[in-house]
Amino acid sequence: MMNNKTRIVVGTLFCLLTVLAMPIFAQEPVPSPLAIAIFPCTDVVSSFKKFYPLITYLNQTTHLNIHLMLHQDPANYERAIKNGELDFVLQDPHGYVRSAHLYNRHSLLRSLTMDGKTSQCGVVVVRKDGGIHSIQDLKQKTVMFGPTVSSARWIAARSLLKANGIHIESDLGGYSNGACCEDIAFNVYMHAVDAGVVCDHFLAEHHLKQRELGVDADQLMMIGITQQVPTKVLAAAKHVDPLVVASVNQALLHLDPNLPEHRQILNQAELGGFQETDDMALADIKKMLDAIAEE
């Protein structure tokens, strides 16, 4: 029979063992962190706001631990993928094509535009009073392209100028790479450059933003349109567990713009959804890259 002192010792030990055991049974293991990189065409803060709801949706749907990373420098992200620091990348198609060997090429997704299309293009805009009426008139003029991570506003735009006899290094008065379409249109409007390349939907969809900048869109006109290029590609690095890739892809494919809660997420990211795709759908952008490499 235990005396009172023995009961106290036994009781204390029991409580201690119970407390020590509780975290084992009460806490679920935290998933290993995963990183999705996105190449922003706007500033980092605005881009984070755009894609944060999408990342939140992925975490809630897949129960994974996904973090958003915004990469400005394409030269560094290949190193990050090779070192296992990045797991997924959402990028324009020429970026994927250049580094396809780093990815799982059998699990690609492509984004849709907000009107459900799988391709997009860039348009060259100028001021109506600038005396420029065609692409050929851009000789010895200054042009602001989109960022180098943009297939439509950089790769396809260069191809458009080349098809019209203009080589950017020798025939332009100068060129630069801008950021978002608002910035580029603003620079054209303010006479900072003679022409700029913006997304095909910009002039029609961004009247409010243009007014906030003091830009009168009626003073701008389009003088050329690029070839259609595929939309952004989501690719998983080769080191990512196929089950994780399948979970992320399934969640993205499940997004339905007809559902109000999904439409809010997609609209914030300026996307229309996702579809499965493969390397064959990127053949045209590869040809553009090959032609540029020959210059």
Higher pLDDT, 153 or 216: 153
Torsion of the alpha carbons at 107, 232, 117 and 64, rounded to the nearest 10:
50
**156: in domain:** yes
* pLDDT at residue 9, as a whole number: 42
Sorting pLDDT into bands at 50, 70 and 90, what band is 14? very low
**248: in domain:** yes
**82: in domain:** yes
d(CA 245, CA 135): 43
Number of domains in the chain: 2
Tokens read off for 152:
């439509």
- Per-residue exposure over 137-167, b if at least 16 CB sit within 10 Å of its own CB, e if not: bbeebbbbbbbebbbbbbbbbbbbbbeeebe
Tokens read off for 235:
């690719």
Residues 128 and 220 in one domain: yes
**150: in domain:** yes
Residues 223 and 242 in one domain: no
* pLDDT at residue 295, as a whole number: 67
Q: Tens digits of per-residue pLDDT, 111-120? A: 999 999 999 9
**218: in domain:** yes
* pLDDT at residue 13, as a whole number: 44
Average pLDDT for residues 211-218, to the nearest whole number?
Answer: 69
Nearest to 58 by CA among 274, 255, 276: 255
**1: in domain:** no
Cα→Cα distances 48→1, 30, 37, 145, 241, Å: 67, 24, 11, 23, 26
* pLDDT at residue 17, as a whole number: 46
**189: in domain:** yes
Q: Which residue has the tokens 């458009």?
A: 160
Residues 235 and 275 in one domain: yes
Sorting pLDDT into bands at 50, 70 and 90, what band is 56? very high
Q: Which of 208, 227, 246 is the last residue of a domain?
A: 227
Amino acid at 254: H
Domain that holds residue 184: 122-227
* Residue-averaged pLDDT of the chain: 86
In this predicted structure, the answer to whether residue 25 has a pLDDT above a threshold of 70 is no
> From the centroid of its chain, how far is CA 191?
29
d(CA 171, CA 57): 47
pTM score of the predicted model: 0.83
Residues 158 and 211 in one domain: yes
CATH of the domain at 156: 3.40.190.10
**293: in domain:** no
